[in-house]
Each structure stands twice: as structure tokens, then as C-alpha cells.
Amino acid sequence: MRIRTLLRLGLLQAAWILVSAVAWAQDLTRVEANVTSVSSGTVFLDRGLDAGIRVDDAVTIFTASGFTTDGRVRSVTRTSARLELLPGAATPNIGDRVEIMIPSERLKPLADGEHQPWESQNPAWDPNRPLLSPAFGTAPEERESVTSGQAYLRLSGTFDQQSGGRNYLLTSLGLDLRRTNPFGHGGEFSMSAEGYRRTSQLPNAPDENTDDFSLRRFSYRVGGEEDNPTRWEFGRFLQHEFPELGLIDGVEWSDKTSTGSTYGASFGAMPEPFPKLSSGDDIQAAMYYRWSADREHKLTYGAVYQNTWHKGNQDRNLFVGTLDWIASKVFSLHTVAWIDYYGPGDTVKHDGFELTEFTASGSWRTSERSSVNINASSRRYPELLRSEFVSLSPDQLLHDHIERIGAGWSSMIGTNTRTSARADFWKDQDDSGENYDASLGWKDLLWDRGELTLTGYYTDGTYSSGPGGRVSATKAWDDAFGTLMYSFTNYDQKSFAGTTATVAHQSIFASVDMALGKAWDLSIYVDDRFGDNLDTWDVGLSLQLRF
């Protein structure tokens, strides 16, 4: 036991030495957010452009169960961001904490009178072109073709020392690619693909390898710009105007009115929601309209109807409604409702409409230094022929449900002290519970460009309940950003007796994030979880090339 303790301390010290030794990186800042909505592998956050978050940023999500999961930002607005979970990533819950490492340059305010540099100059006037056309940008056939994106390598392993030792390894290689004006007619080609191998090493058994390939996006988009509002997209992509409808192998068309409202339709196959994203069994057709009160989209509401077929048989009649309201610089609201219609072809649900899922999140900046977030969600399971994540019995389809409501508050006290608190409540057909947490953080208290945070929390779940705590320290160098965290829990196991009635777990987590020059990023983490009936190591490395 003493050897293991010394080993843990040695690894943590090595992590800090590694941080200090790395060179040629840019200054990084950690941005925190919370999960506000989860649906079909898509995760929404309560922070966006105003917090410095940008498309393609890598995201780490800390789940309530103590595990971490990974994602990448796919779209972002002023006050929210949409994530795509990476293959093999665990699905988070509403309220889970999110960390995003961003270049500190994004958060530096402009000096008085200073403005962002112009991205392009007016093109030379062409007498054969309409007089006002330069106001809307360069003609599509004259725009430069630019390739951008990132290639990345992920290595991770879980080493479970219980029961003789069980190891689980993941190796993946991915590519996100975009090319503007690929064919000389404007538009953009994009793709996102990842190949990976999972290896299971069990005692007294041969290694078991599983190889998979996931093509998450392969599409060409043209239009959808100021000078060409008619938008077409072909291939495999997440539906643009209503991402709630999920991936499609097909085509989507949309157009805009003079006031900024949007209408359109889509048709194609629906890939199954599993890592391989197999396609062909399910077909969908959808049509939608999104009304906007002004060109700045401060108030919008949308409605979409989607009809699906499974192996040629009528499956789902779905209506989705959304409302987005940026009332001012201090208040915003986002809501989504899924409503299913059941008819004579459905054998379990009663005929008529059912509110299958509803999510709402509001953000209120109570002052320049404090804010409040409120989230609510409700879900029932639709009757489907399509293969989804779990198989449900007729009784579960009729009666299973889950409702959640939560609120969070954060504030700065003085210049260096940050406080936050959050409470979440849930209820399903069998049980109810709650989660509470509160934290206090000090910037530059013990060292410059760093933060020390103390967090306490209490969880009452279906299978266990009890208190926990966490101490985390972060430090930014010119060349890296490091995180060191210690956490503990002491849970009562419901329906257990004897030595397993109460279990105490501890965790030591260390990570280093580095931007190696202008093109390379490196992240390394080590997580040691130990305690009653628990002795597990998680290690991981992510290397990314941006181009």
C-alpha cells in the first residue's frame, strides 16, 4: 500500500515537471460551462462566443459519476454551444461540468478605438458586374479555395487492478477537414471521420480487438450566405437548421426571407445511433419553418415536421418546436419540445399527441460579475420500429419517464474570488433524487496565473447517496496549462448490507494541455481511482495537428 501511495505522489510530481518543461506553446485559459441539454448524441452548453468558445474546440466533460468524456464544438452562438461526442464517449447528464481550453488571446479586450483587422479589401471594380455586387462580397467563382481542419491521435487506457486485472485500451485516428470553394462555385466541402481500435485484456483469456470506422460527416454545401441565401447540402451531415433531427444521408434545402426567417425541407436515410453509423434501414422526410423577429435573430421560433419509415414501414410522426430569445445582454432563453403523434399503426401508445421530450434553459446575468442559470427537462420514450440505444418493454414505453430541474449561480467576489452553487432534482417512475454542489475558488492566491478551488457536493441517486468533496488546482504557464485534482466520496449503497453498505472512493487526477507552436496541440491526463473495491488507473493522450 505504501508503494502505491509513493507511486501516486511520484506521478503527480512528474506531471508538474512535464508542464514546466514544455516549450513553444501559446498561453491557454480554461473556460467552464454546464450541460443544458442532451439529445441523440448532441450536447448543448450554457456558454458560447461571449466566453471565447469557437467551432472545433476540444471539450472535456466531467460527469456526475466521476468519469470524463470527450467532445468537440460543432456550432456556437453568443450564449450557447453545440457539442458532438467522440466515439466511445459516455453520454453526460444535464448539469455536468464542462472544461474547454482556449487561447487567452480570444479573451483580451480591444483597446479604446481599436477594431478587429479587416479580413479582406474591396475587390477591383468590374464594369461587367452589377454596381452593388461588391457590397455582398467577392463572386463565388473568384473566391480563394482554402483547406483547414485538424488531424488527431487519441490513446487511452483503463487498467482495473481488481479481479486479477482487466485492461481496456482505445487507439483512434481522426480527421476533420473543410475546403471552401472546392469546385469554383462557392460553397464548402467538409468531412469528419475516425478509425479506432478497442482492445480488451481479461485475465485467463486472449486479447479481444474490435476495429471500427466512423464517418460522421461527408458533405458539400453551397449557398446559405448573404449574397446567396438559398442553401443546399448533400451527403452525410447533421441537419443544419434543426440539429435535433440528427444525422442524415441525403439532401437539405433552405431559403431565407428578407427579414431573416428560414424555411426548407430535407430527405434521406437516417444512420443508426451507434459508432459505425450504419445506414439504410430508416428513411426520413422533413419540412420546417423558423421565424425571426429581426436580422439579428434576437427572437426566433421554429417548427418542423418529420416523418420516418423503418424498412419501408411507417414509423414516426414527429413535431419539433423551438424558441430562442435573447431579451437583452443579460437574459436569454432556449427551449425545445418533441411531440409524437400516434395512430392506428402504433400498437402500444394511445392514439393522439404526446409530449415526448422537453428541455428549457435560461441564463440571467444578474450583474457584470454574477449570473444565474436555470434548466428543466422532461422525457418519455417514443414507440419506434427504429433501433435505438435500449430495448423497452410495452410497459416501460407506457410508463417510464424522467423529469429534471436545476439551477446554478456563479459570482465573482472582489477581483480574485469566484463562488458558485448548483442544485438539481430529478424524478422518474420509480424514484427521485437530488444533487447539490458548491465551490469557492481563488485566483492567484498561492501562485500567479493559477486558481485553487474547493468544492463540496451531495448526491442522492437510485443506487447510492452520500457526500463528496474536491480540491482542484490549476496553473497557466507561457507554454502550458496544468490541472491537479483530488476528490473523495463516501456513498451509502442502497439495498446492500455488510461491508458493501458504505463505500469510500478517492481519485487523483492530473492533466496537461499544451499548444506546441502554431499547429500542434497536446493533452495528457492521468486519473487514479481507488478505495473500497476500487483500484483503477485511467491514462490518456491526445495529439492534434491544426492546418
pLDDT band, very low/low/confident/very high, at 445 (cuts 50, 70, 90)? confident
Q: For the chain, give the mean pLDDT.
A: 82
Query: Regarding predicted confidence, which is higher, 2 or 420?
Result: 420
Between CA 143 and CA 133 the distance in angstroms is 14
Between CA 126 and CA 133 the distance in angstroms is 10
The highest-confidence range among 29-33, 126-130, 177-181, 285-289, by mean pLDDT, is 285-289
The confidence score (pLDDT) of residue 24 equals 35
Q: Which backbone phi and psi does 293 adopt, to 5 degrees? A: -75, -25
Between CA 514 and CA 521 the distance in angstroms is 6
Q: Which residue has the cell 510530481?
A: 13
Residue 453 pLDDT exceeds 60? yes
Q: Which backbone phi and psi does 544 adopt, to 5 degrees? A: -130, 135
Number of H helices, E strands in the chain: 2, 28
How crowded is residue 534: how many other Cβ atoms within 10 Å of its Cβ?
15
Between CA 281 and CA 300 the distance in angstroms is 34
Cα of 208 vs its chain's centroid, Å? 30
pLDDT band, very low/low/confident/very high, at 109 (cuts 50, 70, 90)? low
How large is the average pLDDT for residues 173-181?
91
Tell me yes or no: is domain 28-107 CATH 2.40.10.340.
yes
Between CA 225 and CA 347 the distance in angstroms is 45
Identify the CA nearest to 41 among candidates 386, 273, 340: 273
How crowded is residue 93: how many other Cβ atoms within 10 Å of its Cβ?
18
Q: Which residue has the cell 481479461?
A: 202
Least confident of 107-111, 216-220, 517-521, 527-531: 107-111
| Tens digits of residue pLDDT in 116-168 | 433 333 333 344 444 444 444 566 666 788 898 889 999 999 999 886 788 99
How crowded is residue 380: how many other Cβ atoms within 10 Å of its Cβ?
20
Residue 426 in grid coordinates = 430529478
Query: Regarding predicted confidence, which is higher, 241 or 266?
Result: 266
CB 386 within 8 A of CB 282: yes
pLDDT band, very low/low/confident/very high, at 390 (cuts 50, 70, 90)? confident
Exposed, middle or buried, 34 (CB in 10 Å: 0-12/13-18/19+)?
buried
Least confident of 11-15, 66-70, 245-249, 417-421: 11-15
pLDDT band, very low/low/confident/very high, at 12 (cuts 50, 70, 90)? very low
- Domains in the chain: boundaries: 1-27+418-522, 28-107, 226-399
User: What letters, b where the CB count within 10 A reaches 16 and e where it falls short, cover 219-246?
Assistant: bbbbbbeeeeeebbbbbbbbbbbbbbbb
Between CA 319 and CA 353 the distance in angstroms is 10
Between CA 77 and CA 50 the distance in angstroms is 8
Residue 206 pLDDT exceeds 70? yes
| Tens digits of residue pLDDT in 499-542 | 667 889 999 999 888 878 788 888 898 999 999 888 999 999 98
CB 483 within 8 A of CB 474: yes
The confidence score (pLDDT) of residue 296 equals 76
Query: Regarding predicted confidence, which is higher, 117 or 417?
Result: 417
